[in-house]
Amino acid sequence: MHISISPAASATPPPVATSAIDAVVDRALQRQRLVGAMLLVACNGQTVYRRAAGLADREAGRPMTEDTLFRLASVSKPIVSAAALVLVGQGRLDLDDPVDRWLPQFRPALPGQTPARLTVRQLLTHTAGLGYRFLETDRTGPLARAGVSDGLDGARLTLAENLRRIAGVPLLYAPGTAWGYSLAIDVLGGVIESVTGQALPNAVRALVTQPLGLHDTGFHTSDAQRLATAYVNDDPAPHRLRSGETVTPFEGAVGIEFDPARALDPTAFASGGAGMVGSAGDFLRLLETLRTGGGPLFPPALVAEMGRNQTGDKGPPDAPGTGFGLGFSVLHDPQAAASPESPGTWRWGGAYGHSWFVDPPRRLSVVAFTNTLYEGMSGDFVHALRDAVYASLGRMGGTP
């Protein structure tokens, strides 16, 4: 698979010392924390590290390859967020539009109060007061009782019906007053449909994936042989994810219900927050497009807005020093985060076992897609990989 990121990509790549990164990957495979992984590192517009490691399907003995497809889970969020920003750049949508301008029936309320008016910006920054079913602490929580889908299960409903159910659940806090990871990007998908008059898969294709040539990225795939099999960390080795299995990402949450077959089902509703399928190469192209100014999607000013910390000190509770931009987290205090990343670094991941980050000051983009949850999203592997990349930066042509 050839990746052409920018005009600079045709230049001879700088010498690459990959031993530290390779050691992290090898250790995760040897300790059976990961079954397989596809990693890409771009520095100064050039792909300086690429490795397909381990197995895409352990039972079949199918190796991981550069063109392996992955269930993206929350890696879908920046893609759908970028689609919304394209509409902003075209003057068809405003970040401070009330959501009910586009979805008139979407007027959730605080308990016992009149309906609130949420904005598009609050959806993108996860400050709208919405929640996630998997984050409820009780299996009979409000979202569960309403039959809301998190976009990863096998629920047989439409996007419109899921949005109707979400709107009927009380808000967790007044919009704009707090940060809470949520189904907001699923709601944003409904906004995009309303603005464009197209189904979300068609809109995202027209706005993002087609202009960038992301031919492997969409809301389902018909090529099961290219799709990585999903595994769950277990002792002594990961087990194959079962249909309908619920896996808890951390203590206290009821956990995410997964249906791996959803990725092969063209009739599954398009979840903007969790429902896409794609390759590591495609996603790196998107990240590098944003890092280098956004063309041809939207102007640099919108990239700057996307990467600006919009939430101050409010952000993911497990990520000190981190706020949120438009579609991903933004680091504002590396010391609090105990991280070598620069202030302004973008980062997020996906529950099927993915992590990625972009360090704009160092002109660095890193994509690590794995098929093992949750190690590839939030396990020791993620921090070890980050540290190995920064340890190698000077030898990869970047700024240490």
Point out the catalytic residue in the list 4, 10, 74, 81: 74
Of the CA atoms within 13 Å of residue 373, those in its CB half-sphere come to 27
What is the rounded distance in angstroms from the CA atom of residue 35 to the CA atom of residue 29? 6
Report the C-alpha gap between 47 and 56 in whole angstroms. Answer: 22
Can you tell me the distance from the alpha carbon of 352 to that of 29, in angstroms, rounded to the nearest whole number? 17
Location of structure tokens 């920064």: 390
Q: Check if the beta carbon of residue 350 is closer than 8 Å to that of residue 263.
A: no
Q: d(Cα 395, Cα 112) in Å, to the nearest integer? A: 59
Residue that the structure tokens 């993620």 belong to: 382
Q: How many Å from the N-terminal Cα to the C-terminal Cα in the chain?
A: 29
Those residues with Cβ within 8 angstroms of residue 214's Cβ, 6 or more apart along the chain or in another chain: 208, 278, 282, 285, 286
The three-state secondary structure class of 51 is strand
Q: Rg of the Cα trace of the chain? A: 20
Q: Sign of torsion, CA 138 140 145 149? A: positive
Residue among 67, 99, 43 nearest 359 (CA) = 43
Residue 316, CB-side half-sphere exposure with 13 Å CA sphere: 18
329 counts as catalytic: no
The span from the CA of 328 to the CA of 307, in Å, is 8
DSSP structural state of residue 396: G
Q: CA 294 to CA 159: how far, in whole Å?
A: 29
Among residues 66, 39, 19, which one has the least CA distance to residue 381?
39
DSSP string over 171-223: PSS-TTSS----THHHHHHHHHHHHHTS-HHHHHIIIIIHHHT-TT-BS--S-
Which residues are catalytic, by number?
74
